[in-house]
Amino acid sequence: MKWLLSANGRTREFGPTEVPTLTFADHERAAEHFWSVMADRGARFLPERLAPVFFSTLMESIAGRGDPAARRAGLVVLGRLYRRLGLYPHHGAVIAAALVDTVRRFAGESWKPELANIWEQGCLRVWRSAGQSAGMLGDGPQVTFGVVESVVSACEGVAVVTVRPVRRLRYTPGDAMPVCSPRLPGRWRWLSPANAPRPDGTVEFHIRAVPGGAVSPVFVGQVAVGELLWLGPACEVGLSLPAGDADLLLVAGGTGWAPLRALVEQIAASPVRRRVTVVVGSRTLWDLYDAAVLTTLRQVHGDWLSVVLAFSDDGDVDPAAQGGLVGVVLFHYVPGQAVLVCGPPQLIEEARTWLPIGGVDPGDLHLAVTFRHAFDAALWASRQRTATSTATSTVGEASGGEGGDRRPEEAS
Ligand SMILES: Cc1cc2nc3c(=O)[nH]c(=O)nc-3n(C[C@H](O)[C@H](O)[C@H](O)COP(=O)(O)OP(=O)(O)OC[C@H]3O[C@@H](n4cnc5c(N)ncnc54)[C@H](O)[C@@H]3O)c2cc1C
């Protein structure tokens, strides 16, 4: 089936469909139109300021672009908005009608009457998924905005982007959150804060431009100081600090170091002392983007923290530092340690296969979720449910403070 939808005559192929490529200005106007159609029909639940986020995320989810992780990120955003705005399945009808009206208006000459049903059904399908996502996620951190405070090129293809959220973000070290640049509205990608929550509220993201990627090259090469980013709700992604005082082996490939660095900061601030070994893998010395911080951490916390570097493809470094990450991890593994692994999907798969074979107790192995396998994603979903029910039974969040972020006016 082909959808021929374009405000400016250009279309973008995606799988069996063609989806609209709207310019940023078109997009803003389309989101405004969508919002006013709903308002005209008496549906006033959507704050105007959130209309671009809501509309573009819905459009992207209907188009189904992106890998499973990206699609899940979009659904997390929609799910939390659904919950926050107090929506129900029956709201799907008015939302779908406004969306079809908007697409019809902005599709220009490419509009065909038979497309109305396709968009309507796509919208209702996504709305059902958003409702399920809302039920799974429960209440928690909301979608908000942040201003880019600095962008530092850390090495070829990696940027450290510091963001000042307009309101304090609620997250735990090791979490990841959907992040979106309005340059590519609705195209959310998971990123992991690289710092434990700071007094000034700023958050550092370490972002690698994946060659051929749709979004990461924009984060790394185009997003500039002063720009706005959209920030989705932080979620647990398999890297929470295990309870107790077991020693830790933290294994990072590339920017997988980001959430692990946040964990090291959390441990440094905690009264519980546990020995921590960090193994950071990169291809060459030039790809090791956070060397200065690693050196400082090692110097300051040398009584409990060791740092091991592993270069998979650099014959010029100390032979002791040469080798594949998994082999180096097994060399440093001590039974009883909790092993947390974060990095590109290929590293996670290698760790999943080889670390248990090499002797790591599967019960002690904590892998960052990639959303690539149904089982992986199902486990992630069940952890969100558990986290939600625990939070609900222990904290009266709705009473105010950071947890009481349900009201639409708090979006800004
Ligand atoms: C829980 C979680 C946390 C994450 N945290 C971070 C982070 O802190 N910093 C960061 O830079 N990235 C992080 N990512 C990856 C990020 O969300 C994007 O997937 C990545 O930036 C690629 O997006 P893209 O739009 O450029 O590529 P896409 O257009 O989505 O994909 C292009 C191709 O690259 C592949 N690909 C996707 N991700 C990667 C990857 N990480 N390495 C190699 N190939 C990949 C895809 O399978 C696809 O084939 C995280 C992912 C998850 C699931």
Most confident of 5-9, 115-119, 338-342: 338-342
36 & 97 share domain: yes
CB of 348 shorter than 6 A to ligand 1: no
133 & 151 share domain: no
156 & 255 share domain: no
pLDDT above 90: residue 23 = no
Mean pLDDT confidence for 82-105: 95
Tokens of 248: 């830790």
Query: Quick one: pLDDT at residue 5?
Result: 40
Q: Does a structural domain hold residue 385?
A: no
Quote the number of domains for the chain: 3
- pLDDT band, very low/low/confident/very high, at 7 (cuts 50, 70, 90): very low
Domain interval for residue 72:
11-137
CB of 211 shorter than 6 A to ligand 1: no
- pLDDT band, very low/low/confident/very high, at 112 (cuts 50, 70, 90): confident
Strand order in the sheet with 305-311: 305-311, 276-282, 248-253, 338-342, 365-367
Q: Does a structural domain hold residue 1?
A: no
Out of 113, 137, 161, pick the residue that ends a domain: 137
210 CA → ligand 1 middle, Å: 7
pLDDT above 90: residue 24 = no
Q: Which of 189, 346, 371 to mutate to test the pocket of ligand 1 (most atoms within 8 A of CB)?
A: 189
206 & 273 share domain: no
- Across the chain, what does the average pLDDT equal? 89
Q: Does a structural domain hold residue 379?
A: no
Tokens of 71: 């699609």
162 & 264 share domain: no
Query: Quick one: pLDDT at residue 399?
Result: 32
Give SS3 for 64: coil
Out of 235, 259, 279, pick the residue that ends a domain: 235
Query: Quick one: pLDDT at residue 409?
Result: 33
CB of 71 shorter than 6 A to ligand 1: no
- Give the contacts of 25 (CB within 8 A, at least 6 positions apart): none
229 against 403, higher pLDDT = 229
pLDDT tens-digit readout, 223-263:
999 999 999 999 999 999 999 899 999 999 999 999 999 99
Mean pLDDT confidence for 54-66: 93
274 & 304 share domain: yes
210 & 117 share domain: no
Mean pLDDT confidence for 347-374: 96
H-helix segments, 316-373: 325-332, 345-357
CATH, residue 159: 2.40.30.10
pLDDT above 80: residue 389 = no
Out of 201, 235, 269, pick the residue that ends a domain: 235
277 CA → ligand 1 middle, Å: 25
124 & 160 share domain: no
